[in-house]
Amino acid sequence: MLSPSVAFSFFYWLVAFCFVVAPTEFQTSGVTIQSLFASWLGSESIDFVNYHIKRTAATTLFHASLPLGYFIGMTFVGESGLDFLELSEWAIHTGWQIYFYSACSLLIACATLVYYWHMNDWSNHPIAKNLSLYGENWRSALLQINAEFRSIDKYTSGPTGTSRTIVVDNWIIKTGAYDVKFVHQDHVVLSVGKTEEYQVSPDTMTTVQYVRINVNPLKAQPAFGVRILSTEYSDFKAKLRTEILTLPNITIHQTSGELFLSAFRDQVHQNPMFVVDSGSSFGSCIGCHEKPASVKLTKQCAELEDGDCKNCRCPPMWCLECMGRWYASRQDQSRPDSWMGGSATCPMCRAKFCMLDVSAIQ
């Protein structure tokens, strides 16, 4: 049986963790700092900048009060739960005293910081400092951003969450828990840093690609990065006035077809190679007539007589890309998540094959 203080500690830090990290489930349940302080924060869509000034202040204070909240909670359930540590009374007592003073110092430090931000009607807030780089009076930038954010024509990564990338007519905005960065589109250099691919779920093997874009402001403000879903990359680019520098070795998969092709290629490279006699050549791919034929279908997902797949005896006739496109064209177009686990038939002999049966030739 858990002692009350262990149970309380577990529960308290779990909830605290959810508040700090704010996983999607927690956000959709509506238990967020934004909803707790909703009436004070005002409306994001009407007064975007002030909303985020207040939100970052509230977040800083709220997070800083969590350790002290734990101490106060523990005084109600008692300290006896720490008995299992077999520490002496004195050690527990001193430990708690140190904890209490540290928690108080953290809260006082953050409260002082927020008070400093608030002076002169928030003129000391990092957001105000950030905007004042772009003009004498930061409030003129504030009004412009508010007006541009109210327009429907903007790019926003995801509908909710504390961490978002927003592009409006003149500004690139990145929101975070404690800070929001604003960069004017006329004073920035953008470049694609790298691309990252993730498997969304191991069952369907659907992959998503993220493009990491380096934002280098030309004004005195630190560089930062934003992460865009590759399928949203063209929407993001459409709202920009500047070009994004892209190295030639970076490929951005903007459609689900391209994303699939990259996953198909990875799978084929994981499959065993098909060894052909040295000196034999198979001519060029009969799909594109450009690349050499480079893949062979051989049943290897199961024993020859098991399963639905059949062994194809056709010689290599297709390049990897054309075979990938052929395979994709035989799938349910409305459900790209099912493609990796699906099957297709050989374009020549109609033998059924799955992605495990496609081998690169060697």
Q: Are 130 and 182 in contact (CB under 8 A)?
A: yes
Return the number of the residue (74 or 346) whose C-beta is nearest Zn ion. Answer: 346
In whole angstroms, how close is the CB of 302 to Zn ion at the nearest point? 7
Return the number of the residue (119 or 288) whose C-beta is nearest Zn ion. Answer: 288
Return the number of the residue (217 or 316) whose C-beta is nearest Zn ion. Answer: 316
Return the number of the residue (18 or 351) whose C-beta is nearest Zn ion. Answer: 351
Identify the helix (H) or strand (E) that includes residue 62.
helix 48-77
Q: Are 343 and 353 in contact (CB under 8 A)?
A: yes
Distance between CA atoms of residues 24 and 126, nearest Å? 27
In whole angstroms, how close is the CB of 287 to Zn ion at the nearest point? 4
Decide: helix, strand or coil at residue 313. Answer: coil
In whole angstroms, how close is the CB of 274 to Zn ion at the nearest point? 13
Q: Detail the DSSP E strand segments found in 202-252.
A: 206-217, 224-229, 244-245
Q: How far apart are the first and last CA of the chain?
A: 62
Return the number of the residue (145 or 312) whose C-beta is nearest Zn ion. Answer: 312
CA nearest 87: which of 79, 99, 77? 79
In whole angstroms, how close is the CB of 306 to Zn ion at the nearest point? 10
Return the number of the residue (180 or 312) whose C-beta is nearest Zn ion. Answer: 312
In whole angstroms, how close is the CB of 360 to Zn ion at the nearest point? 13
Interface with Zn ion (CB under 5 A)? 285, 287-288, 291, 301, 309, 312, 314, 319, 322, 346, 348-349, 351, 354, 357
In whole angstroms, how close is the CB of 324 to Zn ion at the nearest point? 9
Q: List phi, psi (to 5°) of 321.
A: -65, -45
Return the number of the residue (139 or 325) whose C-beta is nearest Zn ion. Answer: 325
Q: Are 77 and 4 in contact (CB under 8 A)?
A: yes
| CA neighbours closer than 13 Å in the CB half-sphere of residue 336 | 14
In whole angstroms, how close is the CB of 296 to Zn ion at the nearest point? 9
Contacts of 55 (CB under 8 A, 6+ apart): 33, 34, 37, 41
